[in-house]
Amino acid sequence: MILKVCEVGNPVLRKAARSLSAEEIRSKDIQDLIGYMRDTMRDAPAVGLAAPQIGESLQITVIEDKTEYQKGLTAEQLSERQRMPVDFHAIINPQIDLLTPPDVSFYEGCLSIPRLMAMVARSRSVRVTCLDEHGEQRVIEAAGWYARILQHEIDHLHGRLYTDIMQPETLTTIDNHQRNNSASISAR
């Protein structure tokens, strides 16, 4: 099922989402919700989606960076972004540690802020402690683009948007960015 994505200005995007118990995660309601979030992310398509973006103030995000999403990028662009395919998974109740300073800047977009993108500085390397879609504890060490996706999505769970930390003078429509650059890419 494809869910409606909440856009900026909807108060749910500014609320701190609540955590879930392992028992709740295994319930039919939450398992169904994770499936609908996966469907909605793939439909966009996007590389990440957080539950507040579909109107649920819960600490759940789903992530998937398919090889086919990376086809528009050159080998050099993939390399400088440290971008590699990431299989579908859910991240629940995450605690994130930034292992390096936020000094890597690339353009980001967000499904909840349609048509726009801007440069955002993020940490190259992070460690995330969370529960997975089965309610099992996981520790994820991530670098590069996957680390950027994690930072963007986990920000959503705390009511933060990329526009809070963007380099404001770089704000552009995606159309204009593509017009002015041979290749572009956005995290969602």
- Using Cβ positions, the residue closest to Zn ion within the complex turns out to be 110
The single residue of 23, 108, 153, 169 carrying the catalytic annotation is: 153
Say if CB 64 and CB 42 are below 8 A apart.
yes
Separation CA 31–CA 154 (nearest Å): 19
**Closest distance of CB 112 from Zn ion, Å:** 5
**Closest distance of CB 110 from Zn ion, Å:** 3
CA separation, residue 176 to residues 2, 72, 117 (Å): 28, 17, 10
Q: How many CB atoms are closer than 10 A to CB 33?
A: 21
**Closest distance of CB 156 from Zn ion, Å:** 6
Give 51's DSSP letter: G
> Among residues 81 and 188, whose Cβ is nearest to Zn ion?
188
Residue ranges binding Zn ion (CB under 5 A): 110
**Closest distance of CB 54 from Zn ion, Å:** 11
108 is catalytic: no
> Among residues 110 and 185, whose Cβ is nearest to Zn ion?
110
> Among residues 135 and 165, whose Cβ is nearest to Zn ion?
165
Beta strand ranges found along 9-157 (DSSP E): 48-50, 60-65, 86-98, 104-110, 113-122, 125-131, 137-143
> Among residues 35 and 159, whose Cβ is nearest to Zn ion?
159
Q: Does the N-terminal peptide bond of residue 101 adopt cis geometry, omega within 30 degrees of 0?
A: no
